[in-house]
Structures are given as C-alpha cells and as structure tokens.
Structure 1
Amino acid sequence: MTSSRRRIAGDRWTLRARPAFLYVMYGLLLWSVPLGLIGGVRPDVAAEIIRAMRAYFNALPEPLYALFGTGYLGYTAARAWGKAKGVER
C-alpha cells in the first residue's frame, strides 16, 4: 500500500464519514417515536412540529440534495469497485 493510500485509509475524518451519516438517519427514524407519542396526546402540537420540519426540508435547495446523492452514490460505487479489485477490505 502506498503512503498516500495509507494516509487516506487512516484519516479519522474518512473513517467517521459513513457512521456519522448512519447516525443522522437513525436519529431521524428514532424521532418518529416521541413524535408519535406527542401526536397521541397533543395532535395539534405534532401537526405543528411536522409543518415546521416540512418547511425546513423544503427550504433546502434542490442542488444540495443532488450534490449529496451524487456524492453518496459515487462513494458507494468507488467503494464497491475498490473491494472488487481487492484494493480495499
């Protein structure tokens, strides 16, 4: 393994990138539990929370979603190619 590959493979930011993304996804999924409980007790409050979250996500520009999707799919394809070539574990 070349020194540049070793340096990239040992990069702490690179090692944390995928787990950080998954933690965000887990957080969003887990948020549905307290929101469901709030909705059972105070449907009006839950509706306002949902309205605010929808407004936030709709305010994010479309190119940002495209950039994220392209980066994530590119990373996935590069990782699969690296594993198929035997370069990565």
Structure 2
Amino acid sequence: MVSESIDPDPWATRARPTFLYVMYALLLWSLPMGVIAGWRPAMAAAITAGMRDYLNALPEPLYALFGTGYLGYTAARAWGKAKGAER
C-alpha cells in the first residue's frame, strides 16, 4: 500500500479510494431513497426500476472483467505479502 501511495501514476494512487467512494455513495443513496419511498412511493419505484434497468443493460462480460480484475489484484497482493515482497 505504501508503494501505491508514492507511485507517480495518479490512477494507481486513487484506484482503491475511488472504488470505495463509489460504494459509499451507493450505500448512502439508500437514505434519501428511504425518504422518497415514504413520501412518494411511485417515484421511488420508478428510480429503482431505472437503476435496475441500467445495471441489467450492462453486458455480462463487463461484470466478469471487473470481477476478474478485482480478484486478480487481491490474489496478487496476498501472494506478494505472503512471499514477503510487499509490506
């Protein structure tokens, strides 16, 4: 992690925090969605349907690519730490 933080490539230093920020945003979005659902259930249902349709429209290979990359990165980090090459 230290080598990533001093890496001159800005993508390497921001990749993990950006992913976490996106996940936090998705989780925090549930709060206003709860208020909308209590106040205007039809609007909340339409928002949910729109998000579901968007996510279903993404091609399956894109999900597979993301999963493979994420798991590959995790495995490579674990292997590097176990080998002692990374701290």
Percent of matched pairs sharing the same residue? 72
How far residue 85 of structure 1 moved from its aligned partner, in angstroms, is 1.2
State the partner residue of 1:23: 21
**Relative contact order: is structure 1 or structure 2 higher (C-alpha 8 Å, sep ≥ 6)?**
2
Please list every run of 5 or more consecutive structure 1 residues that lacks an aligned counterpart in the other structure.
Answer: 1-5
May I ask how many residue pairs the two structures share in their alignment?
83
CA distance in 2, matches of 1:73, 1:27: 22
State the partner residue of 1:40: 38
TM-score (norm 1): 0.87
CA distance in 2, matches of 1:83, 1:22: 22
Please state whether the residue corresponding to 2:64 is helix, strand or coil.
helix
Letter in 1 for 2:73: Y
CA distance in 2, matches of 1:12, 1:77: 22
